[in-house]
Amino acid sequence: MGTTMKAWAVSTPGPIDSGPLVPVEREIPEPGPRQIRLRVLACGVCRTDLHLAEGDVAPRRPLVIPGHEIVGVVDALGAGSERFTVGDRVGGAWLARTCGRCRFCVSDRENLCVAPTFTGWDIDGGYAQFVVVHEDYAYELPDQFGDVEVAPLLCAGIIGYRAWRLTELPKNGRLGIYGFGGSAHLTAQVAIAEGATVHVRTRSPKAQELALSLGVASVGNTDDPLPEPLDGAILFAPVGSIVPTVLTSLDRGATLAIAGIYLSDVPPLNYERHLFYERRVRSVTANTRHDGRDFLDAAVVDGIRITTEQYSFAEADRALSDLAHDRITGAAVLVDFDK
């Protein structure tokens, strides 16, 4: 094996078609204490990667390598690393490290850690042939899913799952999903398996078709009326102007969870029309490792179906462009890292 690897890095953030994601060559990283190095087999393309490349979310280091839905094979162990062995298939995800000492970490709320580290934002991620992750923040992957299938579960799935739980949807409740991409199509299946009636609103005809094939009760465009009030809703589209529309669809006491790291500005809300009767709006901030383990277990038990579109690693820039222009149904995944 040589000493360098191929990767993609965020150069100057800007519109995706201006070329902010550039190919680079880097030294293959060496794992430090309690770290493992993965030879990357697949990496999901998350909307957060797009926000990073376009500057909606500012990179925290120059020429950072994005990607945090990483499936790889352990090929090297750092000092003191004992959880995995060389050859194991392992997942790397968004939450790279937490301090373990702050008031949030010690109360099982590590997603709110005051000094966290995130993969593909603070440290280099999976748009590379090799990546280093801390063993305590890596995931054992279920054998039921192949490399391409399991990659989107590691962020799109986990975040959607956390958003669904934060709606506090009652048993057999009515859930609205706004936007229907990589995360939403996984969340809908878990909700349906748990007894929810799911209504999807998205502007993409292909996404509407996918939603119907997964068993949702209704589909429509964003502004189309719903057949019944909602007990909870999740906003996946990063479009703040949708928030008032969703709130008017909520029943009394219902919660809207916003499942994204970025949202455009929300227009003024009318207290009586949008918030009265104890309607709530909640943001979703990262996830805990417990969320991740729970979701991977649920994905197996519920038999969820992952819809993916594959791109060669050499086409990472095209994958982000297609994501930006709504040309992807389901989740995009990078493959063929050895070419």
DSSP string, 46-81: -HHHHHHHHTSS--SSTT------EEEEEEEE-TT-
Tens digits of residue pLDDT in 6-49: 999 999 999 999 999 999 999 999 999 999 999 999 999 999 99
Bridge partner list, 36: 77, 133
pLDDT at residue 132, rounded to an integer: 98
What does the chain come to in residues? 339
Closest CA to 257 of 162, 183, 173, 324: 162
Give me Rg for the CA atoms of the chain: 20
- The sign of the torsion formed by the CA atoms of 189, 190, 191, 195 equals positive
pLDDT above 90: percentage of residues in the chain: 99
pLDDT at residue 250, rounded to an integer: 98
Count Cβ atoms within 10 A of the Cβ of residue 175 and give its class: 0-12 exposed, 13-18 middle, 19 or more buried: buried
Average pLDDT of the residues of the chain:
97
Domain with CATH 3.40.50.720 in the chain: 158-283
The domain defined by 4-154+307-335 carries CATH number 3.10.450.50 = no
pLDDT at residue 310, rounded to an integer: 98
pLDDT at residue 2, rounded to an integer: 79
Domain with CATH 3.90.180.10 in the chain: 4-154+307-335
Tens digits of residue pLDDT in 257-296: 999 999 999 999 999 999 999 999 999 999 999 999 999 9
Asked if residue 207 lies in contact with residue 264, where contact means CB atoms within 8 angstroms, the answer is: no
Chain-centroid distance, C-alpha 209: 22
pLDDT of 1 above 80: no
How many CB atoms neighbour CB 57 within 10 A?
Answer: 18
Reduced to 3 states, what is the DSSP secondary structure of residue 117?
strand
**Homologous superfamily assigned to 158-283:** NAD(P)-binding Rossmann-like Domain (3.40.50.720)
Check: pTM over 0.85? Answer yes or no. yes
Long-range contacts from 212-220, C-beta under 8 angstroms, 24+ separation:
214/185, 214/188, 214/189, 214/305, 215/189, 216/177, 216/188, 216/192
- The sign of the torsion formed by the CA atoms of 179, 180, 181, 185 equals positive
CB-based burial, 284-316: b 16+ in 10 Å, e otherwise? bebbbbebbebbbebbeebebebbbbebebebb
Tens digits of residue pLDDT in 157-210: 999 999 999 999 999 999 999 999 999 999 999 999 999 999 999 999 999 999
